[in-house]
Chains A and B, each alone.
Chain A
Amino acid sequence: EVQLVESGGGLVQPGGSLRLSCAASGFTFTRYWMSWVRQAPGKGLEWVANIKQDGTEKYYEDSVKGRFTISRDNAKNSLYLQMNSLRAEDTAVYYCARADIIVVRGVIIPWLDSWGQGTLVTVSS
């Protein structure tokens, strides 16, 4: 059974930093892309970042580029999200998700076939 367990959320002041972790089990971690998705209070799902199996390709949503860094440790079956320069609008539940991909006309299209329960990040003074 696929299991994704996020941790590291909490209350942080604007401008501060936080590192989220996601422990993966029940599947071969090195075979999959991985993703972070968030949901702000009362809002819809918003994709945050993707990382390829070997970490050589990373993609970010525009509002987090330069502030957030996605990474993975394949030896520990773990995914991370380093969040710096946090803003109030980053307040959300952050979900870790396993991503499969399909390539259509040279375009890599990820989709998220398993999700964790999420961890809440609150940015407030």
Chain B
Amino acid sequence: STELTQPPSVSVSPGQTARITCSGDALPLQYAFWYQHKPGQAPVLVMYKDYERPSGISERFFGSTSGTTVTLTISGVQAEDEADYYCQSADGSGTVVFGGGTKLTVL
């Protein structure tokens, strides 16, 4: 089965750049997607097909890929970016698998 590995936490100061990684052997063969999830709110898609940004998502969010690792980069981090971030791909056709999630803390 597909596994996606994320660091449990990332901390940055306001204005700095946050990089959240997601590793998985299947990622070179499939696309990755990223979600932002704040407590008590619905998750929000912030990146699709590795580096495509949905309409309404800040240009400070950037997606990239290298080998078996995909990275969500948030530049000029703001307090409002504090949230849990999840990567996602497929675990077999028609299914979904999430990474364990990364808690982004804005110091």
Number of interface residues, chain A, beta carbon within 8 A = 30
Q: Does B66 lie at the interface of the complex (its beta carbon under 8 Å from any beta carbon of A)?
A: no
Contact present for B42 and A113 (CB under 8 Å): no
Q: Does A69 lie at the interface of the complex (its beta carbon under 8 Å from any beta carbon of B)?
A: no
As a 0/1 sequence over residues 90 to 101 of chain B, the CB contacts with chain A under 8 angstroms (1 = contact) are 101111111111
**CA–CA, A97 to B93, complex, Å?**
18
Number of interface residues, chain B, beta carbon within 8 A = 29
**A residues in contact with B97, CB < 8 Å:** 47
Interface members, chain B 18-36 (any A CB < 8 Å) = 29-31, 33, 35
Contact present for B43 and A104 (CB under 8 Å): no
Chain A interface residues (CB < 8 Å from chain B): 35, 37, 44-47, 50, 52, 57, 59, 61, 95, 97, 100, 102, 104-118
**A residues in contact with B41, CB < 8 Å:** 117
**A residues in contact with B101, CB < 8 Å:** 44-45
